[in-house]
Amino acid sequence: SHIKEVQFVKSSSRPRDCPKDGKPEFAVLGRSNVGKSSLINLLVRKKEFALTSKKPGKTQLINHFLVNKSWYIVDLPGYGTALSFGMTALASYYFDASAFEGLRFANAPDSARTDWSSFTKGYFLNRDTLVAVLLLVDSSIPPQKIDLDCANWLGRNNIPMTFVFTKCDKVKGGKGKRPDENIKEFQEFIRENYREPPPWIMTSSATGLGRDELLLHMSQLRNY
């Protein structure tokens, strides 16, 4: 599971422009600001590596990074933003497919606003080389409906995923809950919808927590 080299290959604006060499890939998905770029930089042990392909105002790109010349990490555009509703609003949570349909790219200029779901559906439903989605979930905030909707859509479409909880180093004082408490709540919602919940890994790009575990997990999935 060791990463010896990593290279940026290309940014694709359409699923059909993605590399066609058949190498296995993992898609990194999650809300804007959840820590996608930070996690990729942690995995490849390079500061600001994932940012090299980040063009302001052009978030609708699928970025392919080739690891050890044999498999890809794919950075996808972030969706939505964090909302401050917590358990009270989510107490009546139910899977709402139409909510997912309405997800939009974060930070895209109006002129470039594409329906996030039609864009990503094209990628997720047709990408034969996709091994699994790493769905990043911010452990420093309460469960977000947008993340649950995304997880449930992937699950319904039989797309393999692993939950990667980010920012597990964060310690909240006062009324805020700790990462482990937020994760527990998130998983309670997931259990309602899955007979067999997806695997999950706790990470921190600040401390390096979970890096080795995640790389090992990814190598096991590749070898199935």
Measured CA to CA, the distance from residue 65 to residue 142 in angstroms comes to 31
Query: What is the sign of the dihedral through the CA atoms of 71, 222, 38 and 54?
Result: positive
Give the residues lining the site for Mg ion (CB under 5 A).
Answer: 36-37
The least CB distance from residue 127 to ligand GTP, in Å, is: 20
The least CB distance from residue 37 to Mg ion, in Å, is: 3
Choice from 9, 108, 206, 215 touching ligand GTP (CB under 6 A): 206
Q: Is 36 in the site for ligand GTP (CB under 6 A)?
A: yes
Q: Is 37 in the site for ligand GTP (CB under 6 A)?
A: yes
**Would you say 36 or 167 has its CB closer to Mg ion?**
36
Q: Determine the 3-state secondary structure of 213 from DSSP.
A: helix
The least CB distance from residue 3 to ligand GTP, in Å, is: 18
CA distances from 63 to 75, 88, 112, 197 (A): 5, 37, 17, 28
The least CB distance from residue 92 to ligand GTP, in Å, is: 28
Who's near 138: CB < 8 A, 6+ residues apart? 30, 31, 33, 34, 35, 82, 144, 165, 166, 167
**Would you say 38 or 117 has its CB closer to ligand GTP?**
38
Q: Which of residues 69-108 bind ligand GTP (CB under 6 A)?
A: 78, 106
In what helix (H) or strand (E) does residue 133 lie, and over which residues does it extend? Answer: strand 130-138
Choice from 18, 27, 29, 34 touching ligand GTP (CB under 6 A): 34
Measured CA to CA, the distance from residue 130 to residue 68 in angstroms comes to 17
101 touches which of Mg ion, ligand GTP, none (CB within 5 to 8 A by kind)?
none
Bridge partners, 27 (sequence order)? 74, 133
67 touches which of Mg ion, ligand GTP, none (CB within 5 to 8 A by kind)?
none
Q: Determine the 3-state secondary structure of 158 from DSSP.
A: coil
Q: Is 32 in the site for ligand GTP (CB under 6 A)?
A: yes
203, HSE (Cβ side, Cα atoms, 13 Å): 29
Choice from 49, 66, 151, 167 touching ligand GTP (CB under 6 A): 167
Q: Which residue has the tokens 């309602």?
A: 192
The least CB distance from residue 48 to Mg ion, in Å, is: 11
Which chain residues interact with ligand GTP by CB under 6 A?
30, 32-38, 78, 106, 166-167, 169-170, 204-206
